[in-house]
Amino acid sequence: PQGIGSPSVYHAVIVIFLEFFAWGLLTAPTLVVLHETFPKHTFLMNGLIQGVKGLLSFLSAPLIGALSDVWGRKSFLLLTVFFTCAPIPLMKISPWWYFAVISVSGVFAVTFSVVFAYVADITQEHERSMAYGLVSATFAASLVTSPAIGAYLGRVYGDSLVVVLATAIALLDICFILVAVPESLPEKMRPASWGAPISWEQADPFASLKKVGQDSVVLLICITVFLSYLPEAGQYSSFFLYLRQIMGFSSESVAAFIAVLGILSIIAQTIVLSLLMRSIGNKNTILLGLGFQILQLAWYGFGSEPWMMWAAGAVAAMSSITFPAVSALVSRTADADQQGVVQGMITGIRGLCNGLGPALYGFIFYIFHVELNELPMPESPSGGSVVAQYHLQQNSIIPGPPFLFGACSVLLALLVALFIPEHTNLNLRSSNWKKHCGGHGHPHSPQAPSEAKEPLLQDTNV
């Protein structure tokens, strides 16, 4: 087989690190180019771009996963990394094409799905939790370091150098896959020929969602995930732009914010989460995480000073315990042969939110006229930009309307979660889901297994 050595988790870790390190370098330049390209309706256009990308990723992920079961992982790792990184050099060549290609790249921007399948091919079930944790930690580590490096290089040498460096790292990632990454899917695991048919059931992105109503507990969990992750997905797509353009953060401050939030979230999802699960139980941990999320979003919504954003960011790190706790609850309450199906439902709902959330946030920003009509002016002695301070005077009551909408949505999720029983057995209709597992329950399917933890941020350019 092509590649260096036998397939290992470290091959997948390097692929993930290089891809998101390249995108992390562009965090600050992307925010500037976005506002320069769309000086009016900046937040609306950002929401539409990220929303289209998220919806395309949701629609294409099952098909790409099914095809990778037939054609192997290496070719699809190459395809997803290439198309995810394809917009990078266009940032300085043509900003309009840059954002257009970002939207369209969502069809193939599902690197995590293929990487998770790669890891599943080469690990035993008892090793998989540690392997997925290593992949997620690597993802977080790349975003902890790269935005600060990109902001520093952009300030000293200019954004053009940052774009060139990010392009070079993306090319290095592609070359690494071509030369060093061995194929993980054995020939004997594939169908007899490349022409093997792919059923619509395997490629249907809504297949897992159709089973949501078959069990009342599953329905409660899925509603909780939808109402809590919808504002979270919208927040990830627009929050750094909000800090830069509305709150007057400098590029260095945004990079430092990402780093601090990433480190705190890693601590929260490891040490704090394990302590809470042992001390107060699974359901109460979910409720506590949702409570932190409500507080964080309300603080973002009403906050008008930079220090308030930093304080709310610490609360946001604590709210990141919610989804791992939900995954653990499902893992404990579902039967062993239903784990993949139920986890697939939750993953599908989160994928749908990745498309709906950014578009919703952008639309709410647009409705409340949260825009800047000119580029930020030089910083005032107090530290914030003059334009941002003037804007906040005009909208001092509610600076961030979408965050308050998000807080209301999470409050509803909290009320729904109160009715989730702590100990129960999920009872999906076996006659339906067993047939479905023939396509979606494949051991190498891109659906996240029960042990997998979602990374801090989704597969986006920030």
For the chain, how are helix, strand and coil distributed in percent, rounded to 5? Answer: 75, 0, 25
293, 356, 419, 426 from 219: Cα distances, Å: 21, 20, 11, 10
Domains 1-185 and 211-372+400-422 share a fold: yes
Taking each continuous run of H as one helix and of E as one strand, the counts in the chain are: 20, 0
Question: Is domain 1-185 annotated with CATH 3.20.20.140?
Answer: no
Does 1.20.1250.20 match the CATH number of domain 211-372+400-422?
A: yes
pLDDT digits (tens, 9 = 90+) for 126-171: 676 667 767 777 877 787 888 888 888 988 888 899 999 999 999 9
pTM strictly above 0.85: no
Distances, alpha carbon 224 to alpha carbons 221, 254, 351, 407, in Å: 5, 30, 15, 13
Highest mean pLDDT among 94-108, 359-373, 404-418: 404-418
Mean pLDDT of the 198-212 span: 71
Give the pLDDT mean for 260-271: 84
Q: Is pLDDT larger for residue 349 or for residue 304? A: 349
The 10s digit of each residue's pLDDT in 170-195 is: 999 999 999 888 887 765 555 544 45
> Has residue 396 got a pLDDT over 90?
no
**pLDDT value at 15 more than 50:** yes
**Residues 329/436, Cβ–Cβ less than 8 Å:** no
- What DSSP state is assigned to residue 46? H
- In this predicted structure, what is the pLDDT of residue 288? 93
Confidence of residue 423 (pLDDT cuts 50, 70, 90): low
Return the domain boundaries, the chain: 1-185, 211-372+400-422
Which one has a higher pLDDT value, 456 or 45? 45
The amino acid at residue 320 is S
pLDDT of residue 170: 94
Q: Which residues pair with 379 in a beta bridge?
A: 385
Task: Express each pLDDT in 212-260 by its tens digit.
Answer: 777 788 888 889 999 999 998 888 888 888 888 778 888 888 888 888 8
Contact 229, 357 (CB under 8 A): yes
